[in-house]
Each structure stands twice: as C-alpha cells, then as structure tokens.
C-alpha cells in the first residue's frame, strides 16, 4: 500500500503539476503583456513629439548627425550600452535583460529623401542641402521619421520591463536605407560589415515600414515580399555638332530615346512576367546645354526591380545588350554601370508563422493580412541573409480613408496619421518580448 501510495503521489505530481505551472506562466505572461501595453500608451505622446521633430529636421543618407545624436542620447538615458558612428551615422544600442540569451534585434532606418514637402503641416520640412553636387530640398517622404520614433519608444517600453526580459535586445538605428552619396558605402550592408550583427549575434531580427494601407493594418507576406533592386547609370557617347547639321555628328539624345524605348521591351516582351513581376524604369536624363547644340553625351539613371536571382541575372544581361547594341547601330557608344543592388526581401517562413499570432494579439485578427508582392525594395533584406527576419507594413492612412487615393511613399504629399503609430510601438515591443520568452 505504501508503494502504491507513493506511486499515486508521484503520478499526481508529474501529471497535474506541469499544467498548474503552465497556467501560472500564462497568467504571468498576460500580466506582462498588459504592462507592456500600458507602457506603450504612456510613451505614445513622446513618440509623436520625436517623430515631428525628426520630420521637421530631415537628413539625407550618411548625414543623419542630428537624428543619430537624438537617438544615442535617448538610449544612454535609458541605461543602454550604446555604440555610435557605425556605417557613418548608425547607432546600435543593447538592452540586457535578466539573462544574456537569447538575443533579438530590432531595426529602424533614419534617412530622408531629396523631395520638396507639399503637405501643409506646422512641422513641415523647409530644409535644403547639398546632395551629389546639387542643392536639393529634403523631406521624410518615406516615413523613416516614424520608424525611428517608434523604435525610440520601444526602447523606453522595454527598458521598463527589462527585469522580466529573458534575453538581450539589440536596437539598430540605420542610416542610408534609401541610397548613399556617390563614392560612399552605406546602409544595411555597411552596418553588417562594421559589426552591427555581432557581439552579440541575434537569433532573429524584426523591422517595420509605414505605408498608405488602412489605418492600423499590419501587412506581411511569408517568403519573398519585396523586390530585389539594382540601380543603373547609362552614358551614351556621341559626337557634338551644330543643331542645324545633325549629320555632321552623332546625336546621343536621339540614341538615348531609342534606348529608353528598347529597355521597356525587356519586361513587356522578353521576360515571363507571369512567373514574377519585373520593372525597368529610367528616372533621370541629363544632356545638353542649349537648343541649337547637339551634345557629346547624355547620361540616364534608373532602377531595375525583380524577384529571384535568375530573372535578375537575365534582365541585367538584357539591359546591357539592349543599350550597347542600339548605340552601336547609330554610331554611338553606350557605357552601362549597374550596381550590385539590394536582394529580394524574404521573410523567414517559420519565424513568420510563429510570430503572426503576436501581431494578431496586438492589432486584432481582422487587422492583420497577407499582402501581395511589393515592387519596392528594402535593404532590411541584407539582415535577413544573415539571420531569420520578419518585416511588415503598418497602415498609417487616416481612419476610414480610401487607401487607393492616398499619396504613396516618396510622394511630396506623403502623410502619416500619427494615431496609428501606437500599433507599431506595441507590435515591435510584443514581438521582441514574446520571441525571447518562447524561444
């Protein structure tokens, strides 16, 4: 009887007690989620204030000095370990919880664009600066001001619960996501090159991007989500002559026009776009100084968007061949320079599946959706080549507004409804803590 009694007690301990502990753990997590949400609400006003300040003082790639100082001072004030001047102006902060591991990373980008703001706001940008030898206006036309402010808010939230975080959170504030000045390196690739993902190495990385989706919507896609990007510069060299005697020279302007039309046939007639989207766009043309002079050369720049390495390789080959052969047929010469570019952004399928319930807990099931492929590019993809990553979009349209009528990112009319930013603060905070607890 004594043996049977001991066996029965052991049976009860082994079977019943784990369920009891699980219930306690779930209750503890529920309390923690509530505490995080309360902290998110308390920091919301600060995030909006930071966002407006950064928006009013935008800085271009590799020149985000003021923004970087604002970020670094904030992180130091929270007791973080802070490293500055990573990839020129990048800031990396470490928040150590009650355990050293696991480690996760959160990333925000800080740079603005050479765009003149046309939104009527009391904190609209009036900044002008020099970029690649030209004086240009500057605007946060892509929402990086919101990304930076959101992550600053997340830093404050997680600092408030660091004693309950079983791991380390690495905060990466990155410059030059959009591009970088000619002759310089920059962006995520340089951040990685200079050690942003080392000491300690994160097991996963999360990032977000605001966009003209429905208010508070979180949009994501497992696997490939955003296009790989290559930039190109194409110089057409002709022979200068008087505009009245074009036969005495070789007109690079006419050749350039023919090349532009030829480039458009690559996607429309030579690539199977039923397999994946592709785009070849010419964005700038420069040539000539006066109407009665045919210049010696014309330069154009553009972008190539694709999904998949084989398609990309094929398009790049065709761009070179098209430009060179059209130029040769007219007696001109085409010099084609194509950047290595940004890889396709690929959300790790397992990580995405694991974290979607967290996003649904934050935004609600009806406010989390799988979105179509996006032909925009994001150098967050470089981080995802090193560690599993999840990147998602946050809708910042005003409540009830039609997303189809909203100004897109990079527009001078790009507008952010700041009441949606709280969803981003909560999403990033919950993703970080949930991953560390359940790793």
Neighbour-count burial of 398, counting CB atoms closer than 10 A to its CB (0-12 exposed, 13-18 middle, 19+ buried) = middle
Mean of the pLDDT values across residues 90-110? 97
Residue 1 domain flag: no
Please determine, for residue 10, whether its predicted confidence score (pLDDT) is greater than 90.
Answer: no
Do 305 and 418 lie in one domain? The reply is: no
Work out the pLDDT band at 277, boundaries 50, 70, 90. Answer: very high
Same domain, 190 and 254: no
CA–CA gap between residue 128 and residue 151 (Å, rounded): 26
Instruction: Please indicate, yes or no, whether residues 199 and 60 belong to a single structural domain of this protein.
Output: yes
CA distance linking residue 439 with residue 103, whole number of Å: 10
Nearest 5 degrees, angle CA 138-CA 148-CA 75? 125
pLDDT on residue 308: 86
Average of per-residue pLDDT values in the chain: 93
Per the structure, how many domains does the chain have?
A: 2
For the beta carbon of residue 300, count every other beta carbon within 10 angstroms: 20
What span, in angstroms and rounded, lies between the C-alpha atoms of 230 and 24? 52
Domain match, 96 and 199 both: yes
Residue 4 has pLDDT above 70, yes or no: no
pLDDT at 172 over 80: yes
Q: Is residue 274 exposed (0-12), middle (13-18) or buried (19+ Cβ within 10 Å)?
A: exposed
Task: Determine, yes or no, domain membership for 180.
Answer: yes
CA dist list (Å): 392 to 143, 198, 395, 427, 433: 14, 24, 10, 10, 17
**Per-residue pLDDT band at 239 (split at 50, 70, 90):** very high
185 with 274, same domain?
Answer: no
In a domain, 294, yes or no: yes
Report the SS3 class of residue 132.
coil
Residue ranges making up the domain that contains 413: 22-216+406-423
Residues 147 and 257 in one domain: no
Domain-located, residue 108: yes
The mean per-residue pLDDT over the stretch 341-359 comes to 97
Q: Give residue-wise pLDDT tens across range 60-90.
A: 999 999 999 999 999 999 999 999 999 999 9
Lowest mean pLDDT among 8-12, 63-67, 84-88, 288-292: 8-12
pLDDT category of residue 26 using cuts at 50, 70 and 90? low
- Sign of CA pseudo-dihedral 342, 345, 346, 352: positive
CATH number of the CATH domain containing 249: 3.30.70.360
| Within-domain flag for 318 | yes
Please say if the pLDDT value at position 13 is more than 50. Answer: no
Q: 139 and 247: one domain?
A: no
Is the pLDDT reported for residue 11 higher than 70?
no
Distance CA 376, CA 226 (A): 6
The verdict on 139 and 59 lying in the same domain is yes
Share of the chain above pLDDT 90, in %: 89
Alpha carbons 277 and 280: distance in angstroms, whole number: 11
Taking alpha carbons only, the member of 345, 342, 348, 224 closest to residue 275 is: 224
3-state secondary structure of 278: strand
Q: Are strands 103-109 and 81-86 parallel, antiparallel or unpaired?
A: unpaired
Average pLDDT over residues 213-240: 97
Domain membership flag for residue 148: yes
Name the least confident of 114-118, 177-181, 242-246, 392-396.
177-181
Task: List the alpha helices (DSSP H) in 64-211.
Answer: 65-77, 144-159, 187-193
Q: Residue 234, CB half-sphere, CA atoms under 13 Å: how many?
A: 36
* Residue 376 to residue 344: CA distance in whole angstroms: 10
Q: Give the β-pairing of 168-174 and 389-395.
A: unpaired
In this predicted structure, the answer to whether residue 9 has a pLDDT above a threshold of 90 is no
Same domain for 418 and 286:
no
Give the residue-averaged pLDDT of 337-362.
96
Q: According to the model, what pLDDT value does residue 16 have?
A: 42
Domain limit, last residue, from 316, 338, 360: 338
Question: Could you give the CA distance from residue 439 to residue 436 in angstroms, rounded to a whole number?
Answer: 5
pLDDT of residue 12: 41
- Strand, coil or helix: 169: strand
Measure the CA–CA gap between 322 and 326, rounded to whole angstroms. Answer: 6
Q: How confident is the model at residue 340 (pLDDT cuts 50, 70, 90)?
A: confident
Closest CA to 88 of 213, 188, 221, 15: 188
As a whole number of Å, the CA-based R_g of the chain is: 26
CA distances from 429 to 75, 367, 432 (A): 16, 18, 5
Cα–Cα distance for residue pair 57/45, rounded to 1 Å: 19
Say whether pLDDT at 3 is over 80: no
Same-domain check for residues 162 and 263 = no
The answer to whether residues 140 and 125 touch, using CB atoms and an 8 Å cutoff, is yes
pLDDT digits (tens, 9 = 90+) for 306-337: 998 899 999 999 999 999 999 999 999 999 99
The predicted structure's pLDDT at residue 27: 67
**Residue range 404-428: mean pLDDT, rounded:** 97
CATH number of the domain enclosing 158: 3.40.630.10
| 3-state DSSP assignment of residue 63 | coil
Same domain as 75, residue 209: yes
DSSP string, 7-33: HHHHHHHHHHHHHHHHHHHHHHHHHHH
The mean per-residue pLDDT over the stretch 192-210 comes to 98
Q: Is residue 253 part of a domain?
A: yes
User: Which residue, of 298, 323, 338, is where some domain finishes?
Assistant: 338
- The reply to whether 177 and 110 lie within a common domain is yes
Last residue within a domain, chosen from 291, 311, 338? 338
Give me the mean pLDDT over the 256-278 stretch: 94
Is residue 164 within 8 A of residue 97, CB to CB? The reply is yes
Residues whose CB is less than 8 angstroms from the CB of residue 7 and which lie 6 or more positions away in sequence, other chains included: none
pLDDT score of 17 more than 60:
no
- The answer to whether residue 45 sits within a structural domain is yes
User: Measured between alpha carbons, how far is 352 from 306 in angstroms, rounded to an integer?
Assistant: 22
Contacts of 286 (CB under 8 A, 6+ apart): 298, 299, 300
Segment 429-437 mean pLDDT: 98
- Per-residue confidence (pLDDT) for residue 179, from 0 to 100: 87
């Amino acid at each position: 009887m004594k043996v049977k009694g001991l066996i029965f007690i052991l049976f009860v301990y082994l079977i019943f007690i784990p369920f009891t502990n699980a219930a306690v753990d779930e209750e503890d997590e529920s309390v923690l989620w509530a505490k995080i949400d309360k902290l998110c609400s308390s920091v919301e006003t600060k995030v909006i204030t930071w966002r407006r300040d950064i928006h009013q003082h935008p800085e271009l790639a590799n020149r985000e000095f003021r923004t970087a100082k604002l970020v670094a001072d904030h992180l130091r004030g929270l007791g973080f370990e802070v490293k500055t001047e990573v990839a020129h102006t990048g800031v990396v902060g470490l928040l150590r919880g009650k355990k050293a591991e696991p480690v996760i990373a959160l990333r925000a980008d800080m740079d603005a664009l050479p765009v003149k703001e046309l939104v009527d706001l009391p904190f609209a940008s009036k900044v002008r600066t020099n970029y690649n030898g030209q004086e240009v206006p500057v605007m946060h036309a892509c929402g990086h001001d919101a990304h930076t402010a959101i992550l600053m808010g997340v830093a404050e939230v997680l600092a408030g619960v660091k004693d309950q975080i079983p791991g380390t959170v690495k905060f990466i504030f990155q410059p030059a996501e959009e591009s970088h000045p000619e002759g310089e390196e920059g962006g995520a690739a340089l951040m990685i090159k200079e050690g942003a993902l080392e000491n300690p190495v994160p097991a996963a990385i999360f990032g977000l991007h605001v966009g003209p989706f429905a208010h508070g919507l979180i949009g994501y896609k497992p696997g490939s989500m955003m296009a790989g990007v290559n930039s190109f510069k194409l110089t057409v060299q002709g022979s200068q002559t008087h505009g009245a005697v074009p036969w005495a020279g070789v007109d690079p302007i006419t050749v350039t026009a023919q090349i532009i039309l030829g480039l458009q046939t690559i996607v429309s007639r030579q690539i199977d776009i039923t397999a994946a989207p592709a785009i070849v766009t010419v964005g700038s043309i420069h040539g000539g100084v006066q109407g009665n002079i045919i210049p010696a050369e014309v330069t154009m720049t553009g972008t190539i968007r694709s999904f998949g390495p084989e398609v990309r390789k094929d398009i790049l080959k065709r761009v070179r061949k098209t430009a060179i052969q059209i130029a040769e047929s007219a007696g001109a010469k085409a010099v084609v320079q194509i950047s290595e570019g940004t890889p396709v952004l690929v959300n790790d399928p397992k990580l995405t599946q694991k974290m979607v319930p967290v996003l649904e807990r934050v935004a609600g099931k009806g406010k989390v959706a799988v979105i179509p492929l996006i032909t925009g590019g994001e150098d967050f993809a470089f981080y995802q080549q090193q560690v599993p990553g999840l990147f998602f979009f946050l809708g910042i349209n005003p409540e009830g507004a039609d997303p189809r009528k909203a100004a897109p990112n990079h527009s001078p009319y790009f507008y952010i409804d700041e009441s949606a930013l709280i969803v981003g603060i909560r999403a990033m905070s919950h993703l970080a803590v949930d991953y560390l607890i359940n790793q």
